[in-house]
Structure 1
Amino acid sequence: MMIRFTKMHGLGNDFVVIDGVRQQVVLTPDHVRFLAHRRLGIGCDQVLMVEPPSDPSRAAFRYRIFNGDGNEVEQCGNGARCFAVFVRDQGLTRESRIPVETAAGYITLQIERDGQVTVDMGTPRLTPWEIPFEAERAAPWYTLAVQDQTLEIGTVSMGNPHAVLLVDNVQTAPVARLGPAIEGHPRFPRHVNAGFMQVMSREHIQLRVYERGVGETLACGTGACAAVVVGRLQGLLDTQVNVDLPGGRLVVQWSGHEHDPVFMTGPATSVFTGTIDVSTTPRLKMDGYANRPG
């Protein structure tokens, strides 16, 4: 099976984007792992699929996300911005405001005049059963026993689960050690994205994210939104926050009211297009390390 694709990135969080509207594509987990492999395939953090919507009256497209380990996940903010630029560049739509269907619900993408993309990420989900996270009741912070220490974390779902840990210095934070331990902690039955946040001021944070099924990435859009939500709930941040990630800056806005949506603005870049044959895809097991740049 020959597949046409576009390689894109949002602040270094990179994607293989596939048009499933004008070509027939059926991806297996082996296909995804092959496409994502940085030595044997194209190389990416996630594979994105553009498909027709289930209900054309509510959305223009269906947006599907597959992690490098082959598993389909609910949401990806950086991917959403790339999705918007892709469907415009490919002539699939002429609209600047694009409603899309995801596994986590419906979101709206807005292409701004300067080329950046604002994503209405929907409302944050804060109760443990929605995240999901094993806890008796909702709380601003939870304690989590990890390895030989007890951490204080905030948890939120932005369509996918996040745990946010406040750190004194994001550069020296033990992301490589604690990230996998938090991601696979048994209190998160679907695993979790682990964010390490340093508050620089009420309008500025620095953030590193160890993503579920991927490892640490250069940027995580839903992670940036989750960190701002947690910081706002703790009274540490203002309504609009600059979020600096290793790959660059996102701007996140949230009123602080749990029924209001979170908005994220940032760039999306096309790198190259091509065609790849997945008919003889090798069977690969992604362990995180194999998918890191190198």
Structure 2
Amino acid sequence: MDRACAGRISPAVMTLPFRKMHGLGNDFVVLDARGRPDLRLTPARAAAVADRHTGVGCDQLIVLEPAEGGGADVFMRIRNPDGSEAGACGNATRCVASLLAAETGRPRVTVRTVSGDLPAVALPDGRWRVDMGPARLGWRDVPLAREFDTLHLPISRGPVGDPAACSIGNPHATFFVPDLSRLRLDTFGPSLERDPLFPERANIGFAQVVAPDRILLAMWERGAGPTRACGSGACAALVNAHRRGLTGRRATVVLPGGELEIEWREADGHVLMAGPVATAFTGELDLDALPEPAAPAHAAA
């Protein structure tokens, strides 16, 4: 990683370098806090950075922290635009992996998340492939509020219904539709994300299977709304499509921002995702301009 953009703080003004990166238009503000553990990035501050009108603007705020205990190169913390924390993000993992490779000179790195370690490898064509870990299919794994077969859930809104669910580090529900072009995400996404069956809310995917190896996908992400791409959502779409007998174990998933290659490996149940990364620009955040963290209770007096 370019150490000029890796977290040095000016003593005169409280500024923090950042990178604006994206995977297929799924965009991130990346902060390096490995040398600055006291950022106090509260949900309110994270939301302020993510705001597209008054902040930098992003689908998720990514904060790099030391990976405690070894076994990984970095810990990646993920904040949604509403300040909530996400468990994993495939597109962000590829972006962070590319930064670590530039920093270390190694084409293989491991990114730790709250949902587990994600190994990543650089491909000869410039893309990155991430092992997103095993698809978790049990109702407690998703999680659901009560026991159901995750292959068919009793949820519907108007013409969409009968989703399949799984966890790819985050809860996902995939609705299969005959014509994605006729669907408006903002009509169904908000209420489906917060359906009572999802106690932690869920990422909602709308998938149109056009061939055994090709899926069109639109995503409504919990805490973020519609995004141009969602790596874990693409993984969930392939897993759920294969479980329904609609595709094989490998497919190209086409999102508004571009294509991801997804494979659900039979040998160990892990899901592999390959796609590009890009840096849009770099800059500095004025930390003093962000909302103040709440004062500790003992300091209120």
Q: How far 1:41 moved relative to its partner? A: 0.9
Mapped to 2, the partners of 1:209 and 1:150 lie a distance apart of 14
Equivalent residue letter for 2:162: E
Q: How far 1:172 moved relative to its partner? A: 1.3
The aligned residue for residue 19 of structure 1 is: 32
Q: Which residue, out of 6, 14, 20, partners 1:7?
A: 20
The answer to whether the 8 Å contact 1:9/1:270 transfers is yes
Mapped to 2, the partners of 1:199 and 1:255 lie a distance apart of 20
* Deviation readout 1:197-251 (Å, 9 max, x if unpaired): 0000000010000000000000000000000000011111112100000000000
What does 1:188-227 correspond to in 2, within 5 Å? 188-227=198-237
The aligned residue for residue 115 of structure 1 is: 126
Matched, 1:34 2:14: no
Matched, 1:163 2:177: no
Q: How far 1:145 moved relative to its partner? A: 4.2
Equivalent residue letter for 2:286: D
Q: Which range moves more in the overlay, 39-48 or 171-180?
A: 171-180
What does 1:58-207 correspond to in 2, within 5 Å? 58-89=71-102, 91=103, 93-146=104-157, 151-207=161-217
**Scaled by the length of structure 2, what TM-score is found?**
0.88
* Deviation readout 1:105-144 (Å, 9 max, x if unpaired): 1111111222201000000111111111134243421221
The aligned residue for residue 7 of structure 2 is: none
Secondary structure in 2 matching 1:232: helix
Q: Which residue, out of 265, 282, 285, partners 1:273?
A: 282
Q: How far 1:20 moved relative to its partner? A: 1.4
Mapped to 2, the partners of 1:243 and 1:172 lie a distance apart of 18
Equivalent residue letter for 1:106: D
**Scaled by the length of structure 1, what TM-score is found?**
0.90
CA RMSD of aligned residues (A): 1.6
Give me the identity figure in percent.
38
Q: Which range moves more in the overlay, 184-193 or 18-27?
A: 18-27
The aligned residue for residue 246 of structure 1 is: 256
Secondary structure in 2 matching 1:141: coil
Mapped to 1, the partners of 2:160 and 2:77 lie a distance apart of 36
The answer to whether the 8 Å contact 2:100/2:109 transfers is no
The aligned residue for residue 46 of structure 1 is: 60
Counting matched residue pairs gives: 278
Equivalent residue letter for 2:144: F
The answer to whether the 8 Å contact 1:12/1:219 transfers is yes
Q: How far 1:2 moved relative to its partner? A: 1.5
The aligned residue for residue 269 of structure 2 is: 260
Q: How far 1:150 moved relative to its partner? A: 7.2
Mapped to 2, the partners of 1:88 and 1:165 lie a distance apart of 36
Q: Which runs of 5+ in 2 are unaligned?
A: 1-13, 293-301
Q: How far 1:149 moved relative to its partner? A: 6.5
* Deviation readout 1:40-69 (Å, 9 max, x if unpaired): 11110101111110111x111111110011
Q: Which runs of 5+ in 1 are unaligned?
A: 284-294
Q: How far 1:174 moved relative to its partner? A: 3.1
Mapped to 1, the partners of 2:258 and 2:250 lie a distance apart of 17
Equivalent residue letter for 1:132: P
Mapped to 2, the partners of 1:172 and 1:125 lie a distance apart of 30
Equivalent residue letter for 2:84: N
Secondary structure in 1 matching 2:216: strand
The answer to whether the 8 Å contact 1:232/1:256 transfers is no
